[in-house]
Structure 1
Amino acid sequence: MASSTTPKKTFRVGVMLEAVQLSDIMGIDLLGNLSREYMDQVKGLSEEIDLFDAHAFDMEFFYMAPTLEPTLMTPGLRFYFKPNVTYDDCPRDLDIVITGGPLPTHQPPQAAKFMKEAWTKTRVWMTTCTGSMWLASTGLLDGRKVTTNRCGLPLARQIYPGIEWLDQRWVVGEKPYDGSGGGKGELWTAGGAGAGIHMIANYCLQNFDPKFVTALALDPLQFNPEESTGQFYAK
């Protein structure tokens, strides 16, 4: 995994959010709390927060859909959430793409084109819930070890038998990466929405200063993954 350093450029996060449950992508709040924009809003609230002013970094989120029209998310948020970029216009060389979980039948061609073109140019790819089945529909996960919503594992194994579907809360593996900046490509796949939030928290703790992550993201949200369920399901 990457070292715990402050990114030297704008950290760019792509979010595939159309037709997904709102909770599937809520882990982006953990990332957003590490941004310079957030730090400038909360600076001065406490001495502990101010200690990490130099750790905050520029961050940009790309919320994707086929068009810029309001997109459906649960629970009925169609008229409140608008994408800010289309799949066709979104950059391919992002730092992270987060794919939320729609119904397995949701496979717009624009999304498939984006995933195939961004797959090797984006260093870290994350899926939550049935987002892994969405990504699997492109063939990019063939031969890999991944997971999905635990209730959806039988269906995933039936539809995509060329993938090794693991019964874990989240799975971390490698993926191809030929983009700039170096480092290995990483594939993080999670089960349900709660597992996805834990997964993103663990990614942040591994890739950025843990004290900074705790002070700006975990403590303000009263979230402690060490006291929550870990990577594996309880037997």
Structure 2
Amino acid sequence: MTSSSPKKLRIGVMLEAVQLSDILGIDILGNLSKDYMSQVKDLQPAYAAFESHAIDMEFFYIATTLEPGFMTPGLHFVPTVTYEDCPRDLDIVLIGGPLLSHRPEQAARFMREAWPKTRVWLTTCIGSMWLASSGVLDGLKCTTNRECLGLARKMHPEVEWLDQRWVIQDKVFEGESKGELWTAGGAGAGIHMVATYCLENFDRKFVKTLALGPLEFRLDGNVSQFYLA
């Protein structure tokens, strides 16, 4: 997908009972949107120069009900759609890491039904274990929070769990183009992963100017897929 695509980019975020830091990468995507551009284009000429690159986006914040949902640390948010009503054919789904006790059947059904219809899935921390619990990751290469790799291998032995900061894997997709699964370790690795996804799928200068620059997100140090030790 390119930044010049006229199609609205529809992004689902599964954030019920997750750790707030796990879904912070969504802000990198949000900074590339037309809504964000409309608010900041007059701040600097460098921003306005990329106005034609801004992407029409729609975010779906998904939970079991439309009642205020919980995430750490004691934060409550208002969902915009339930698992039952959320479209299955999104462009991207981002999953944060929920408590292991959080496994609503509505979420499992959504993941199973949306898995082949949504082209790109991104998970952070034990969000991959949540996705694995639905059965769609069987036979695929994935990762999760490094401290939970042993538990992941025990709970979901059908998945090939790798000790990496993030893993990119082809996935089934019923639409055009190639389906992709990006799974990350802890929140920091997840943010690096989303930044890398954006740099590889949209104009790099646009991403650096509107997202990574304003967020003061520096791609130095270890920002690769692999741990140093």
Asked if Structure 1 and Structure 2 have the same fold, meaning a TM-score greater than 0.5 normalized by the shorter chain, the answer is yes
Of the candidates 8, 11, 20, which is equivalent to residue 10 of structure 1?
A: 8
Deviation at 1:229, TM superposition (A): 3.0
Question: What amino acid sits opposite 1:113 in the alignment?
Answer: R
Mapped pair 1:126 → 2:131: no
Q: Which residue matches 1:178?
A: 174
Q: Which whole-Å CA distance do the structure 2 matches of 1:141 and 1:60 have between them?
A: 26
Q: Which whole-Å CA distance do the structure 2 matches of 1:36 and 1:228 have between them?
A: 31
Q: Which residue matches 2:41?
A: 43
Question: What amino acid sits opposite 1:122 in the alignment?
Answer: T
Deviation at 1:5, TM superposition (A): 3.5
TM-score between the two structures when normalised by the length of structure 1: 0.95
Of the candidates 45, 62, 65, which is equivalent to residue 63 of structure 2?
A: 65
Question: What amino acid sits opposite 1:68 in the alignment?
Answer: L
Deviation at 1:224, TM superposition (A): 2.2
Mapped pair 1:189 → 2:183: yes
Bigger mean CA deviation after superposition, 222-231 or 135-144 = 222-231
**1:206-225 superposed matches below 5 A:** 206-225=200-219
Q: Which whole-Å CA distance do the structure 1 matches of 2:222 and 2:142 have between them?
A: 21
Give the gaps of 5 or more residues in structure 1.
none
**1:95-114 superposed matches below 5 A:** 95-114=91-110
Question: What amino acid sits opposite 1:194 in the alignment?
Answer: G
Mapped pair 1:165 → 2:161: yes
TM-score between the two structures when normalised by the length of structure 2: 0.98
Q: Which whole-Å CA distance do the structure 2 matches of 1:54 and 1:145 have between them?
A: 37
8 Å Cα contact 2:3-2:54 kept in structure 1: no
Question: What amino acid sits opposite 1:206 in the alignment?
Answer: E
Q: Which whole-Å CA distance do the structure 2 matches of 1:12 and 1:199 have between them?
A: 19
Question: What amino acid sits opposite 1:20 in the alignment?
Answer: V
Deviation at 1:217, TM superposition (A): 0.1
Aligned length: 229
Q: Which residue matches 2:23?
A: 25
How big is each residue's C-alpha offset from its partner over 1:199-225, in whole Å with a ceiling of 9 and x where there is no partner? Answer: 000000000000000000000001122
Percent of matched pairs sharing the same residue = 65
Deviation at 1:234, TM superposition (A): 1.0
Deviation at 1:231, TM superposition (A): 1.3
Mapped pair 1:86 → 2:82: yes
How big is each residue's C-alpha offset from its partner over 1:10-45, in whole Å with a ceiling of 9 and x where there is no partner? Answer: 100000000000000000000000000000000111
Q: Which whole-Å CA distance do the structure 2 matches of 1:120 and 1:162 have between them?
A: 19
Give the RMSD, CA atoms, in angstroms.
Answer: 1.0
8 Å Cα contact 1:100-1:131 kept in structure 2: yes
